[in-house]
Structure 1
Amino acid sequence: MNHRDERLGSAPLGKLMFSLALPSVAAQLINVLYNIVDRMYIGHIPGYGNAALTGVGVTFPILTMISAFSAFAGMGGAPLASIQLGKQNRQRAEQILGNSAGLLVLFSVILTAFFSIFKTPVLYAFGASDATIVYARDYISIYLIGTIFVQLALGLNAYISGQGEAKIAMLSVLIGAVLNICLDPLFIFVLHMGVRGAAVATVLSQAVSAIWVVHFLVSEKSVMRLTLKNMHLKKDVIKMIAGLGISPFIMQSTESLVTITLNTGLQRYGGDLYVGSMSILMSVMQMITIPVQGITQGIQPIISYNYGAGNKERVKATMKRMILVCLTGTLLLAGVAIFAPQIYTGLFTDNKGLLELTCKVMPVYFLGISIFGIQCACQTSFISLGQAKVSLFIALLRKIILLIPLAVILPKFMGVMGIYRAEPIADVISVLTTSAVFIITVKKVLRNM
């Protein structure tokens, strides 16, 4: 077995966690730049930047849904492959990798066809107005061409991280993101392509990332190799991937339902300006949660590998440290949104009305996110240990069971501010519930190891 994955079970824990988490955080931050940089440039287009920003914000649920399917195959399979590496079963790990790749290709074809055909009614359902639909449609029409690249780049990159190659995983994202940052102003402003230019830049950048990821996984540098033979879908493997992948899928796909609920509510009780504020809030939400998700993604292979190897004390120590680090991260990043919202808001708009509204609602909206690091760490622990059912419940709890109903009910009594207040209420209840479930479940799992 390659020594690079064996260090997951033997290297000093603190140093190992840092070496894996840091590149993973960087990769997640860089990855989110694809959409955030687009919005920064789009929001400053002379003459129609605000309307264009709102229009692109309306496409967010579609982008999230595409990412969710990549998470289903990638995050559903990568922990299972890491566990198999811990058991010294490389052949099974490669079979899981190949089936995930096959799923990603299948998902790409279905998603591209569906959203290309139904994009206009879908965008209106997601909160587009007659003033913003043209920008939303221009952006998503081009973005959908690159669905296959998004699927492969995001989904298969989890398998690079899963074998302890966090730096390689970071580089796969960095290459595309740097290219995107360079191409955005060229296509948007120099070539005067506007919103279409932002989409073209993103597609080209994701294509380069996808090529990098696939090239690594088929090379001899990878501990587990991607082959065409293993891409032939097998029922038992797909069932395993689906059992664990449904949780991250729900976590990401429900962002679409949340965005639909929030945007339509804001359009009804407020108008385009309020929908524009939510576009900024969603971007800031990514800036806060993505680094924490990067930490958990980097640390996940350590838990999975040692769970497969039967190393109980190392599993326990890793989870404890991960919870502490994640909580510290959300306290610091959400603290900026609560006490100095203008720092985040100024990145996306220079419109006075939009600035004032967003700075007013941001401290309310992000209050509960300050302790959300606990939930991120617990959720990743469930996935790392193969606890599919518990992970599924936690994924449903925050958004489906709590946030969406609250976002519909509260504005009937509090007006438009009720929509913003739904988020912190759902976050706090969810974190408390997850913590209790985590304590009970992990005690049982460790006892049975």
Structure 2
Amino acid sequence: IVMFKGFKKPPKFSKFGKYIKRIYLLGFPNILMQMAYTFYIFGLNLILKTFSDQVVTVLGLYYKWQSVIFIPLGAMQTCIVPVISFNFAAGLFGRCRKTLKDSVLLGMALMLIGVLSFELIPTQLLMTFSKDADVISIGTVAFRIIGISFIPLVTSLIYPVYFQAIGSAFKSSMLTILRTVVLLVPLGFIFSKIGLDWFWLTFPCTEIITTIVGFILYKKENKKISLKFTERTR
């Protein structure tokens, strides 16, 4: 294994299984997130197909723009994992909390650009990819409703990353499953029965509920960590 000051002898082959298991355990939330993405996109497309092909196109255009807007947020998520993990291992829990707080504030500032874009210029965003009048008409309404979800979405995505960073893979996975499997598709199905415009509320509702659950888990985890730290210092 290459280290900063040279080479470090790798562990015995018999220990590899334990390390690999640990790596996959901590990385499972990310694997799950990628798998869940495919699942809920497929589910939402099936729901929207009952309206029209143009509605499915609108959802696709939303995810095109989402992938662009989320680039800085995704990069920040990747960067905070080692920072939180290092400080957690060192027992510097205050730094972990500060990193989370700063990440949320920065993420919300970044997502504010997305909110303003979706609220103020949805037509221009849609016309970048489509000139279809129906797509633009449906998409304008959809983008303005979905746009309000970008702020709570920051916390609904960062809480799982935080739990992953402190080694709580179960809580991280639970939030991912809650957001993508339990909420997005079922809520989309329920709202679609009321009407197309209602369907787009699936996104803000999902992010708000996930954020609330994530905050509750975070507060409970904080109490547990504080108790452990108190016991160590006695």
**What corresponds to 1:236 in structure 2?**
18
**In the alignment, does 2:223 pair up with 1:443?**
yes
CA 234–341 in structure 1, closer or farther in 2 if over 3 Å, else same: same
d(CA) in 2 for partners of 1:365, 1:305: 36
Query: CA, structure 1 residues 242+221, in 2 after alignment: closer, same or farther (shift >3 Å)?
Result: closer
Question: Could you tell me which residue of structure 1 aligns to residue 161 of structure 2?
Answer: 380
Structure 2 residue matching 1:349: 3-state secondary structure = coil
Amino acid at match of 1:320: K
**Matched AA of 2:153:** F
Asked if 1:314 corresponds to 2:95, the answer is yes
Instruction: Give the 3 Å change call, closer, same or farther, for CA 444–417 of structure 1 in structure 2.
Output: same
TM-score normalised by length of structure 2? 0.84
Paired residues of 1:382 and 1:390 also in contact (CA < 8 A): yes
Q: Matched residues in 2 for 1:352 and 1:223: separation?
A: 62
Evaluate the alpha carbon distance shift between residue 355 and residue 413 of structure 1 in structure 2; reply closer, same or farther with a 3 A threshold. closer
User: AA paired with 2:214?
Assistant: T
Using the alignment, how far apart are the partners of 1:313 and 1:228 within structure 2?
Answer: 33
SS state at 2:128 partner: coil
Q: Are 1:329 and 2:133 matched, yes or no? A: no
Match of residue 204 from structure 2: 424
1:363 — aligned with what? 144
Pair 1:413–1:241, CA change in 2 (3 A): same
- Indicate yes or no: 2:30 matched with 1:248: yes
Unmatched tracts of structure 2, length 5 or more:
230-234
Per-residue deviation, 1:222 = 6.8
Count how many residue pairs are aligned between Structure 1 and Structure 2.
228
Residue 392 of structure 1 corresponds to 173
Amino acid at match of 1:352: A
Q: Is the 8 A contact 2:40 2:180 kept in 1?
A: yes
Shift of 1:446: 4.3
Shift of 1:231: 10
RMSD of aligned alpha carbons:
2.9
**Percent identity over the alignment?**
20
Q: Could you state the TM-score of these two structures normalised by the residue count of structure 1? A: 0.46
Distance 1:381 1:231 in 2: 31
Superimposed CA distance per residue, residues 171-205 of structure 1 (whole angstroms, 9 cap, x where no aligned partner): xxxxxxxxxxxxxxxxxxxxxxxxxxxxxxxxxxx
- Alpha-carbon contact 1:244-1:388 (below 8 Å) kept: yes
Is 1:264 the counterpart of 2:28? The answer is no
Q: 1:292 aligns with which of 73, 89, 112?
A: 73
Q: Does 1:407 align with 2:188?
A: yes
Aligned residues of 1:323 and 1:378 also touching (Cα < 8 A): no
Amino acid at match of 2:128: L
CA distance in 1, matches of 2:36, 2:215: 21
Match of 1:68 in 2: none
Which stretches in structure 1 are left out of the alignment for 5+ residues? Answer: 1-93, 95-219
1:409 to 1:242, Cα distance in 2 relative to 1, 3 A: same
Contact 1:265 1:419 in 2 (8 A): no
**Equivalent residues of 2:100, 2:162 under 8 A apart:** yes
Instruction: Give the counterpart letter for 2:116 in structure 1.
Output: G
Q: CA 1:284–1:444 in 2, change beyond 3 Å: closer, same or farther?
A: same
Encode CA deviations 1:206-254: one digit per residue, 9 max, x unaligned.
xxxxxxxxxxxxxx687898x9999999432232123222212222211
Return closer, same or farther for 1:295/1:279 CA change in 2, 3 Å cut-off: same
